[in-house]
Chains A and B, each alone.
Chain A
Amino acid sequence: MTAARRGAVALALVAAVGVAAVSGARLSRLVAERPGEELLYLPNGEQLRILSLGHASLLADAIYLWAIQYYSNYEGADRGRYVEHVFRGVITELDPHYIDAYWLGALILIVEFGEIDAGLGLLDKGIERNPERWILPYLAAWESHHAGRFAQAEGYFRRAAALPDAPPVVRRAQAGMRTKAGDLDGALALWRQIADDPRSDAGSVAVARRQLAQLDARLELERLERAVERFRAEHGRHPGGLGELGTVAGVRLAGGSYAYDAKTGKITRRSARRVVAGD
């Protein structure tokens, strides 16, 4: 090869590298200008399952890893547009037993984008496809709890607690959630079950007894408040003291300490004691 020809080849190489670099930079700018568009044409899980030729689970992993990287990047205003499609329509269709994908997808939907119903919907799909896994209703319960939906949370905890592999903490959480949902009698019954169940571990029994004492006291206070209210309705005034309440309204106190303000009829508890009967 002559020197001139070598020089021409070198020049062509340098030119090709330059064109590639400039075009690459231009392309990266063009792509960056259209965030989220790459997801527009992502096929659904059923179509991808056909293309995967028996490696659907591997494909689910690949899209899951990609999704983690994609949603970890906080740039782009509308990056939440296809979250449900990616996790519900693609990853969990390719691998219906992918527990982490249900959990992470729900977390992104709820925490990142405030889509509580979509997030719980994804967890519901996971529960339906994996009815033996307690972790999904357990996670759904906590997400419902964070959203202030205590009755819904109690329902999820109940489903989780009914599964054979559920750890003791699930039943305790269910009882706690009944309290938060306002079902004090139901909570009392559940704590009593936990305390009396010979299969309960020592930790659960201790927690259950403590909760029972607190709930008893709370229920007693509520009954006293209702008795004061009833007394006022019947006699047109508040009772002069708790003694009068006991004598007139038939409320028997099991012994203990309450502070009572006869002017306002307000009762506050100083220490726990029980209403025996007659409420």
Chain B
Amino acid sequence: MSGEVAAPPSPLAAIRAIALNTFREAIRDRILYLLLAFALGVIAVSRLLSLLTVGSEEKIIKDVGLSAISLFGVLTTVFVGTSLVFKEVERRTIYTLLANPVARWQFIGGKFAGLLAVLALNLGLMSAVLGAVLLLRDESPWPLVPAIALILVELAVIAAFALLFSSLTNPILAALGTFAVYVAGHLSWSLRLLADKVGSGLGAVLCEGLYRVLPNFDYLDLKASAVHGLPRPPGLVPAAAAYGLAYAFVVLVVACFAFQRRDFK
């Protein structure tokens, strides 16, 4: 009789397996129908514009395209991301999964990687459709690439929050929480203004603290400058990407701790 015991899978192998499974599951979630609707929407809009506008057709196509990529991406992140952990708990597959030599942080990491892959595919397809529409009008889509890359970084931050809330509560509350983070992240600059208005005291400290803790999605918003072809300070895109990815990592670590403490009995 052999005394050998099967070696546990490497952390990366476990994360890859969970990510692949999450990706497959999400793809069956009719996301591609959403993409098709988006593609047809952009094409229809570009057709309609020549009837409705005076000049600015390309600008409007780019604005509509980038905003649609961002908004559809956020919707996908919220609806898919917030149910990722809950589905496993509801279907009780979490017990089978955690009975295996898989750490909880690997589970969260795998879910995040799978979700990010879905979002990247989502973004890639939408960007390809937008690019094709622009190329048909002899417009180069390449100046939009940095803006799209930072949209993906913003989605990574939102996905991390979606997983955090998904680890703590049910999908409805998690979706509300994630959407609240999206809104707060786009309004965080107003906390600074509020702190200035309040002046001093606890209120000002609270506003300043929230300003520093909440994500600032304005840092990741290059849509307008990409559409207008405005010059950017050198190193802006890598710095913004580093900010977003580091923020997502921190939120993901918090999500791992939260999931670690969760009792499934």
**A residues apposed to B, CB below 8 Å:** 50, 53-58, 60-61, 64-65, 68-69, 95, 97-98, 100-101, 103-104
Contact = CB atoms under 8 A, between A and B. Distances in A.
A57 B218 CA distance: 13
Contact of A97 (B60, B67, B221, B230): B230
Contacts of B55: 100, 103-104
Contacts of B21: none
A114 B182 CA distance: 45
Contacts of B190: 50
A86 to B, nearest CB: 14
Interface of B is mostly: helix
Interface residues of B, number: 25
A57 B52 contact: no
A122 B256 CA distance: 54
B140 to A, nearest CB: 18
A50 B187 contact: yes
Contact of A58 (B67, B186, B217): B67
Interface string B92-111: 00000000000000000000
A68 to B, nearest CB: 6
B52 A65 contact: yes
A182 B64 CA distance: 49
Interface of B: 52-56, 59-60, 63-64, 67, 70-71, 182-183, 186-187, 190, 217-218, 221, 223-224, 227-228, 230
A85 to B, nearest CB: 19
Interface of A is mostly: helix
Contact of B227 (A50, A54, A57, A101): A57
Contacts of A103: 55
Given A61-B63, A68-B53, A68-B54, A54 B221 contact: yes
A97 B52 contact: no
A160 B59 CA distance: 23
Contacts of B71: 55
A60 B190 CA distance: 21
A77 to B, nearest CB: 23
A58 B221 CA distance: 13
A89 B23 CA distance: 46
B190 to A, nearest CB: 7
A55 B67 contact: yes
Contact of B53 (A50, A56, A58, A64): A64
A68 B55 CA distance: 11
Given A97-B228, A97-B230, A54 B56 contact: no
Shortest 10 CB-CB contacts between residues of A and residues of B = A100-B55, A58-B67, A53-B186, A97-B228, A100-B56, A57-B224, A55-B67, A61-B60, A54-B186, A58-B63
